[in-house]
């Protein structure tokens, strides 16, 4: 697949490395193809390239949203919803508000970033995933004391099946499907538990495991 990774931050690079190492081609979507982060992202992922958001999305089979929440609506406006219509769009964002100095949810129940993104991209098949783990453990996740689980939510069964395949190829066991995109708020609240634990301890090597899950 040709994968448009929208954004050029640490999550973008981590997931781009995952896709590239599994034989997919990666194009980063960015506001500035010659900007520092775009150049660093392309240098970090062999075979990748960078293009303006719209161009990256237009040429891709699927996309991954790795933008900061404050920049996501603008990034998707620059991308153009039509360029993602009918495609799998994995949403990795957490809708964080840093204005008080400590991360808090900017959007919450009954809404969510995932649901807002689905509204901004009405023709796309948005699947929330990867938002409950640090960038460095999104691919080949390893934990000394067990296996972590990934949770997903999205409306389209085929898009979720494709996301499951991607997660498995990245080293995750079968993810926990929480339902349609209206359940994205649960994944974003779960991320807040993960973030609160990390911020209070300055420790980011933790993940969630659903014990006794149905086989
Ligand atoms: N860091 C983690 O470990 C982690 C874990 C789970 C989830 N997340 C979530 O994943 C997302 C990415 O996190 P990150 O730390 O990798 O990156 P980030 O520093 O939050 O930003 C990523 C990208 O957002 C784009 N962006 C920012 N403002 C924009 C604007 N006004 N318009 C258009 N694009 C804009 C930038 O791309 P360009 O400048 O190239 O356009 C930037 O490279 C966030 O939503 C975060 O909450 C992060």
Could you list the mean pLDDT of each consecutive 10-residue stretch along the chain, which spans 215 residues?
Answer: 98 98 98 98 98 98 98 98 98 97 95 98 98 98 95 98 98 98 98 97 97 90
What's 22's domain CATH number? 3.40.50.720
| Rounded-to-integer distance, Cα 173 and Cα 197, Å | 24
Whether the CA torsion 26, 32, 34, 39 is positive or negative: it is negative
In terms of residue numbers, what domain contains 126?
Answer: 2-201
206 in a domain, yes or no? no
Q: Which residues of 6-41 are buried (b: 16+ CB within 10 A; e: fewer)?
A: bbbbbbbbbbbbbbbeeebebbbbbbebeeebbeeb
Q: Is the CB of 134 under 6 A from ligand 1?
A: yes
Placement of tokens 């009405």 in the chain: 122
210 in a domain, yes or no? no
Closest ligand 1 atom to 113 CA: 45
129 in a domain, yes or no? yes
Counting the structural domains of the chain, the total is: 1
Contacts of 184 by beta carbon, 8 Å cutoff, 6+ apart: 91, 112, 113, 114, 115, 128, 153
37 in a domain, yes or no? yes
Beta bridge partners of 50: 28
Residue having the nearest C-alpha atom to atom 36 of ligand 1: 7
Q: Is the CB of 135 under 6 A from ligand 1?
A: yes
pLDDT value for 215 = 81
Closest ligand 1 atom to 12 CA: 16
Closest ligand 1 atom to 50 CA: 40
pTM higher than 0.85: yes
Token representation of residue 38: 């775009």
98 in a domain, yes or no? yes
């Amino acid at each position: 697949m040709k994968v448009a990774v929208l954004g050029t931050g640490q999550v973008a690079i981590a997931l781009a490395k995952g896709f590239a190492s599994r034989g997919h081609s990666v194009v980063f979507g960015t506001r500035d193809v010659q900007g520092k982060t775009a150049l660093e992202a392309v240098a970090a992922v062999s075979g990748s390239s960078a293009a303006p958001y719209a161009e990256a999305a237009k040429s891709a089979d699927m996309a991954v949203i790795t933008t900061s929440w404050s920049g996501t609506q603008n990034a998707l406006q620059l991308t153009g919803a039509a360029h993602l219509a009918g495609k799998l769009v994995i949403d990795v964002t957490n809708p964080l508000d840093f204005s008080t100095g400590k991360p808090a949810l900017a959007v919450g129940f009954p809404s969510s970033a995932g649901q807002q993104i689905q509204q901004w991209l009405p023709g796309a098949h948005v699947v929330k995933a990867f938002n409950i783990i640090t960038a460095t453990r999104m691919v080949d996740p390893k934990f000394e004391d067990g296996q972590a689980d990934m949770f997903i939510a999205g409306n389209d069964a085929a898009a979720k099946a494709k996301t499951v395949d991607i997660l498995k190829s990245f080293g995750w066991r079968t993810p926990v499907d929480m339902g349609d995109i209206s359940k994205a708020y649960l994944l974003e609240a779960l991320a807040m538990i993960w973030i609160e634990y990390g911020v209070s301890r300055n420790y980011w090597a933790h993940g969630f495991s659903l014990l006794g899950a149905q086989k």
